[in-house]
Amino acid sequence: MPKLGMWSFSNGILVGAIHPREPARVRGAGGRLSPWLRRADQYVRLVSLATAMLLACVGCKADSSAATKPPRSGPEASAAREVRVTPVMTKPLERAIVALGSLAAFDQATVSVKVPGRLRSVTVDLGSVVQQGQLIAQIDPQDYQLRVQQAEAALAQARARLGLSPAANNDRLEPTQTSLVRQARALLEEAKTNRERQAALFDQGIVARSQLDSADSGYKVALSRYEDALEEVRNRQALIAQRRSELALARQQLDDTGIYAPFEGAIQEKRASIGEYLGAGAPIATVVRVNPLRMRVEVPEREAPQVRIGQIVRVTTEGDPTVYLGRIARLSPIITPQTRMLVVEAEVTHEGSLRPGLFARAEVVVDEQSLAVAVPTKSVVTFAGIEKVLIVQNGKALEKPITTRRRTGEWTEVVNGIDVGDVVVLEPGNLQSGQPVTIVE
């Protein structure tokens, strides 16, 4: 097919140009178009006409859709919203100091073994509730039972040597009533009598001086033996006291094989298992007293003079709507030099829902009745940490950021943002600033 030229679309119409190098082939004699070129020209005209009609239909449809689309509605077209309002007023509110702190166990103790041995049983685990004096663990007591028996036998032996009944508990005994002392006294009396006899005979000239000296020496030896007998009895009495102390120590060690809870609380951590051989002082478990709890907070130096022992403290925790009550029980004697804070401890009682270690917010009530600018709590809106109220001005709602301090169940103190006499919207909900409003009673 011959090259006729270049063809393109322009505004939906096919436009062609005859190739400049083909004039002779396109035009016939006399400059007229050849028959095949006339047919091509008619085809191009038909295509251009169909394209134009298609574009016209598309444009008409778009205009029709735009004509039938409803107009947008703006804030001006919405009806005014009915709201209830209340004036800002001065109310007597309690004054409280807000401080952040944490809850701690009232008491905490690591229970350890007093005597070495193999752990035979553990009756508690993590979270177990224990009562004061409750058995927590048990060391194998067999070795200590044998020691008790050994000490009892030694005590009985010492009592028997002193002439006491092995099974009796009374250790009182007069030394002169013992057989050892009585024997020594008899020998002493005999020696004394013999010396007196020899002295009488020597005075009469019947016996020699040597016999008198021998009798005198015998008397002195008997006297020494009598004194030794008294000392021996006293030593045996002391030995009985020693054996009794050893028996008491053995019994105490036997009792110490049982490990008991020092106070009422719960098990924070179990630190030993059955079968372990534990030395003296090895930890078994950690016990904490969880009721009451210690609420420990820090109060700024400028507010420290207002805090006193016995003041009421309201405690709240994250995720728990309950307000717990406590009282200040202890105050630090100094202001911390690094932070310029006063450490305050309050005792908080609860029903088991609080735990040591919780981060808490405390309100220390320092004045139960003081005047303050207040609005109803339900009129305050909090968004992204910013507190605000909505007032009515010129028939429209207007947002007013505020700064609050004290808060009760019904009223909130406002220290900045609005004044007494302003009218605030109760329960604004999703009311927007600038929205028309109608005040209702």
In this structure, are 433 and 415 located in the same domain?
A: yes
Cα 352–Cα 354–Cα 359 angle in degrees, nearest 5: 175
State CA 292 to chain mean position distance.
13
pLDDT tens for each residue of 268-322: 999 999 999 999 999 999 999 988 999 999 999 999 999 999 999 999 998 888 9
Domain contains 274 = no
Domain contains 273 = no
Cα distance between residue 212 and residue 36, in whole Å: 187
The neighbour count for residue 355, using CB atoms within 10 Å, is 14
Cβ atoms of residues 117 and 259 within 8 Å: no
pLDDT value at residue 142: 95
> Considering its fold, how many domains does the chain have in total?
4
In this structure, are 159 and 176 located in the same domain?
A: yes
Residue where one domain finishes, among candidates 338, 369, 400: 369
pLDDT value at residue 100: 92
Residue with more model confidence, 118 or 43: 118
Domain contains 265 = no
pLDDT value at residue 99: 92
Domain contains 32 = yes
Over residues 108-136, the mean pLDDT reads 95
Six token digits for residue 422: 């302003």
Strands 312-317 and 5-10 come out as: unpaired
pLDDT value at residue 286: 96
Domain contains 268 = no
Cα distance between residue 227 and residue 241, in whole Å: 21
What pLDDT band is residue 347 in, cutting at 50, 70 and 90?
very high
Strands 5-10 and 381-383 come out as: unpaired
pLDDT tens for each residue of 150-171: 999 999 999 888 888 877 777 7
In this structure, are 166 and 228 located in the same domain?
A: yes
Identify the domain containing residue 53 by its residue range.
5-68
Share of the chain above pLDDT 90, in %: 47
In this structure, are 353 and 384 located in the same domain?
A: no
In this structure, are 246 and 145 located in the same domain?
A: yes
pLDDT value at residue 38: 58
Low-confidence winner among 67-76, 91-100, 183-192, 366-375 (lowest mean pLDDT): 67-76
pLDDT value at residue 19: 46
Q: Which amino acid is at 94?
A: E
**What string of DSSP letters covers 80-111?**
PEEEEEEE-EEEEEEEEEEEEEEEEEEEEEEE
Residues 6 or more apart whose CB falls under 8 angstroms from that of 246 comprise 151, 154, 155
Domain contains 123 = no
Cβ atoms of residues 165 and 296 within 8 Å: no
In this structure, are 212 and 313 located in the same domain?
A: no
pLDDT tens for each residue of 28-54: 444 454 554 456 556 657 666 766 676
In this structure, are 314 and 353 located in the same domain?
A: yes
Where are the alpha helices (H) located in 162-289, listed in sequence order? Answer: 179-204, 209-255
Rounded to two decimals, the pTM is: 0.57
In this structure, are 358 and 414 located in the same domain?
A: no
* Residue 87, domain CATH: 2.40.420.20
Q: 87-100: b or e for each residue (b if 16 or more CB lie within 10 Å)?
A: ebeebebbbbbebe
pLDDT value at residue 56: 56
pLDDT value at residue 21: 46
Cα distance between residue 178 and residue 151, in whole Å: 24
In this structure, are 245 and 154 located in the same domain?
A: yes
What pLDDT band is residue 133 in, cutting at 50, 70 and 90?
very high
pLDDT value at residue 7: 46
* Residue 323, domain CATH: 2.40.30.170
Six token digits for residue 281: 């002082």
Over residues 141-153, the mean pLDDT reads 95
Residue with more model confidence, 67 or 427: 427
Where are the alpha helices (H) located in 69-208, listed in sequence order? Answer: 142-161, 179-204
Output the average pLDDT for the chain.
83
Strands 283-300 and 341-348 come out as: antiparallel
Domain contains 360 = yes
Residue 233 pLDDT exceeds 60: yes
The neighbour count for residue 323, using CB atoms within 10 Å, is 11
Cβ atoms of residues 252 and 167 within 8 Å: no
In this structure, are 250 and 296 located in the same domain?
A: no
pLDDT value at residue 120: 96
Residues 6 or more apart whose CB falls under 8 angstroms from that of 292 comprise 106, 326, 347, 348, 349, 350
Residue 368 pLDDT exceeds 90: no
What pLDDT band is residue 360 in, cutting at 50, 70 and 90?
very high
Measured CA distances, 267 to 101, 130, 287 (Å): 24, 7, 5
In this structure, are 363 and 419 located in the same domain?
A: no
In this structure, are 145 and 252 located in the same domain?
A: yes
Query: Residue written as tokens 């004699």?
Result: 29
CB half-sphere exposure, 126, CA atoms < 13 A: 2
Cα distance between residue 170 and residue 441, in whole Å: 95
Residue where one domain finishes, among candidates 369, 393, 414: 369
Residue where one domain finishes, among candidates 350, 369, 388: 369
Query: Residue written as tokens 């009585």?
Result: 182
**Integer distance in angstroms from the first to the last C-alpha of the chain?**
92
Nearest CA-CA partner of 98 in 300, 246, 384, 289: 300
pLDDT value at residue 81: 85
Cα distance between residue 380 and residue 391, in whole Å: 11
pLDDT value at residue 219: 92
pLDDT value at residue 420: 86
pLDDT tens for each residue of 174-211: 888 888 888 999 999 999 999 999 999 988 888 888 99
Domain contains 30 = yes
